[in-house]
Amino acid sequence: MGLDYTYQPWGTTFSVGWTYVSDRTEFKADGGIKVIEPASFVTLAVRQRIIPNLFIFFEASNLTNSKKVERETAANRVSTRRSEDAGQTFLLGVSWKF
């Protein structure tokens, strides 16, 4: 889900986005079960027009610093837990429309 707001007098666009990934369960052929826990991500961005077709932008992704967590239980009841941390991402750039 996202929301953009453009303030025309300045040529500035503000954006906020929220992504939610629900939990998922996978049943394996060998009797094991894998559960991927839910995660939520927030992204903020600002885009500024410099001249009619030239913009600078800043984007901050995964501000909640969410991690992907998987829990797996094998058929013999041995459990493992994995956590994947992509961290936060910050981008600064220039875009030009032809």
Q: What is the pLDDT of residues 25-59, one digit of tens each?
A: 999 988 899 999 999 999 999 999 999 899 999 99
Q: What is the pLDDT of residues 53-82, one digit of tens each?
A: 999 999 999 998 989 899 999 988 899 999
Strands of 24-27's sheet in order across: 24-27, 33-36, 68-73, 79-84
pLDDT (average), residues 1-9: 96
User: What are the residues facing 60 on neighbouring strands?
Assistant: 44, 90
Question: The pTM is what?
Answer: 0.73
Work out the angle at residue 95's Cα, subtended by the Cα atoms of residues 91 and 98, and round it to the nearest 5 degrees.
Answer: 160
Instruction: Give the number of other CB atoms < 10 A from CB of residue 5.
Output: 9
Domain ranges within the chain, ordered by starting residue: 2-96
Question: In whole angstroms, what is the distance from residue 48 CA to residue 9 CA?
Answer: 11
Q: Look at strands 33-36 and 2-7 and give their pairing.
A: unpaired
